[in-house]
Amino acid sequence: MTLARHVDALRSGDQDGRALGEAMHAVMGRLYPICRSITGDGVRATLDVLAESADIQRRSIPSGTQAFDWTVPDEWNVRDAYVADRHGHRLIDFHRHNLHLVSYSVPVRATMTLSELRPHLHTLPDRPDWIPYRTSYYHRDWGFCLADSRLRAMDEGPYEVVVDSTLEPGELTYGELVLPGSSTEEVVVSAHICHPSLANDNLAGIAVAREVARTLASLPSRRYTYRFIFAPGTLGSIAWLSRNADVLPRVRHGLVVTGLGGPGVLVYKRSRRGGAGIDRAAAHVVSRRGGEIRGYSPYGYDERQFNAIGFDLPFGRLSRTPHGEYPEYHTSADDLSFVTPPQLLESYLALLEMMDVLENDRRYENLSPYGEPQLGKRGLYPTTGGKQATDAVMAMLWVLAYSDGSTSLLDIASVAGVDFAGLRGAAASLEAAGLLAAER
């Protein structure tokens, strides 16, 4: 099955999309308990799960390696972390929720009063039952996160404070999957894998990207070569860029996927160029799904690394609920219940539709340009006249009207205000009838 047929089957309901949404949510359920950070066993365990059904290759970069202006830090792992009262009851327990520990906390074993402990505690007073997510990647420190209601119930102590962690030379790990196409030109999809138990940010992006990769891998042929990168945020993409100078000239389209499972509409953030091919394809798909198109800004996720002026790669970002724009962001409330299978499915479909546009957007030449060709004698027009033209007929007429050899299907879709998939199908019918010739 071609990508176009797969997309059409899902859109028409001929293929059960509900099962796909549930499968993606189930993968998130397996990944949710894992404690991830920018390095460590949690990243490797996450890649192990993803590699069970996709040929994701693990790449490693040793601690101390320079990547442009950054240095790969020591690897961080944690066995246990807690704050216990005088009776040994754990009031804050890493094993109950891994957000309780500030990521990259250094080892600690101490007895402290609440006053001594308080500078190392993080809460959300305006959300008293939620646990915040905090990190200390590049500054040696330690801390705990907890519900503000729990903090208010604590007396002066003393408390046993334990962070059983290690910070020692190791490696930064990321995953990569390359699906060769008929062209060596590449479409790159990137998802960050450094966050611990946060469902929308970014287990949703990971699960959707994996499912899209599986779909593309199942196709008998592809126009482009597709590269999927599963890497820790910021440092991971910078490290990948530092090691793949030979790949960068082949990148034609790029997309960072994150926050794809929340309840909001689809939101596409343009590349720094603003009018790149991925920007046009994404704008077509997202706008027709009732989503929002935004301009580029240098703040966000890894799109800001790929778009950096030294690389100037055409990378956009696809989200449902962008970072910082929903109360649950970076808190324990971003759990599995915040993300539903239908939300994941829509994100998956939108991403596939973008790939469909990239794969099938071509320029055609009308081989019968002197007036409208007779479609009826070729079986392309209803036998009964006098009725309003069908969508299929209108799509063919639009394609014939603009196929001058320099106008692409996506250009025509923009002018006509119609769906790309309909024009793609019309072009295929017209080409089969000898009325169109595709660009070489």
Q: Which residues are annotated as a binding site?
A: 195, 201, 330
List the binding residues for Zn(2+): 195, 201, 330
Place of tokens 């009851």: 89
The DSSP 8-state label assigned to residue 205 in this structure reads H
Count of other CB atoms within 10 angstroms of residue 11? 16
Pairing state between β 315-319 and 251-257: parallel
Amino acid at 279: D
Query: How far is it, in rounded angstroms, from Cα 146 to Cα 297?
Result: 32
Place of tokens 């009838």: 433
Query: How far is it, in rounded angstroms, from Cα 295 to Cα 290?
Result: 17
Cis ω before 169 (30° cut-off from 0): no
Q: Is 141 helix (H, G, I), strand (E, B) or coil?
A: coil
3-state DSSP percent of the chain in helix, strand and coil, to 5: 35, 25, 40
111: which 2 tokens? 């007895």
Query: Counting Cβ atoms within 10 Å, is residue 206 exposed (0-12), middle (13-18) or buried (19+)?
Result: buried
Residues 190, 257 contacting (CB under 8 angstroms): yes
- Specify the length of the chain in residues: 440
CA neighbor of 354 nearest in space, from 249, 265, 296, 282:
282
